[in-house]
Amino acid sequence: MTDSIQSIDRGYGYDSLTEQRNKVLRNTYWLLALSLVPTVLGAWLGVATGITNSLGGGLGLIVFLGGAFGFMFAIEKTKNSAIGVPVLLGFTFFMGLMLSRMIAMVLGFRNGTDLIMTAFGGTAGVFFVMASLSSVIKRDLSGMGKWLFVGAIALMIGGIINIFVGSSAGMMAISVLAIAIFSAYMLYDLKQIVDGGETNYISATLALYLDIINVFQSLLALLGIFGGERD
């Protein structure tokens, strides 16, 4: 009798845990989709007004790092409160603004719109593949986290150096590495949700959003370098 009750408790506990994980994943996907709206609005505003045109070199780096880390700190502080979602959406609007300078440059090409849509489609394809893999891979991927973090830091340092060097070859190398690292990060972050390692959907959305925006930006940079057609 006791064994039967324990079996029921274990089964009930497993079902509850699975339901919780599915809820976090579902909410993350909804919020991730919603976060793209402020991103598009921010990018449109930046392109339409040219408000970020003067943010080149060191000034642009300071504004971007200050704004990004400030928002991320605020998101982590408010992720369990009612204002967590608005703060996250404010961050995605800011990221859209910061992205607008690159988008405006790409739109300067004759095939700029096609390049942007190709980058978007490629990013969606990467996300679909990683989401599919996260649901079928049974192995624990938590050990990847520290290596991916080291890779992301090295990538950020290389990117900062290249802002001042202005090397096209350096930009290409950084973009290729960024696509590889943040695609792997996408798989890692999704697997964390699936395995129950991440239980807050706002934090999960932030992590996946950063993966997606980095893959998109890097794809767009490569497409602009290799596929941009000037009039």
Give the domain ranges of the chain. Answer: 20-227
CA nearest to 172, candidates 230, 95, 227: 227
- C-alpha 93/C-alpha 102 separation (Å) is 15
Using the predicted structure, report yes or no on whether residue 9 has a pLDDT greater than 50: no
Q: What is the CA radius of gyration of the chain?
A: 20
Using the predicted structure, report yes or no on whether residue 95 has a pLDDT greater than 80: yes
Residue type, 76: E
CA nearest to 95, candidates 176, 47, 38: 38
From first CA to last CA, the distance across the chain in angstroms is 81
Mean pLDDT in residue range 35-62: 87
pLDDT for 6: 46
Q: Which two tokens stand for residue 41?
A: 């609005």
The answer to whether the CB of 119 falls within 8 A of the CB of 216 is: yes
Question: Among 3-7, 8-12, 44-48, which range has the highest average pLDDT?
Answer: 44-48
Using the predicted structure, report yes or no on whether residue 169 has a pLDDT greater than 90: no
| Sole residue written with tokens 């950063």 | 210
Mean pLDDT in residue range 40-46: 95
| Sole residue written with tokens 């497409």 | 223
pTM across the whole model: 0.88
pLDDT above 90 covers what percent of the chain? 57
Q: Residue 126 class from Cβ within 10 Å (0-12 exposed, 13-18 middle, 19+ buried)?
A: buried
- C-alpha 188/C-alpha 140 separation (Å) is 9
CA dist 56 → 29, 98, 126, 166 (Å): 33, 11, 30, 11
Task: Name which of 20-24, 90-94, 146-150, 171-175 the model is least confident about.
Answer: 20-24
Using the predicted structure, report yes or no on whether residue 74 has a pLDDT greater than 60: yes
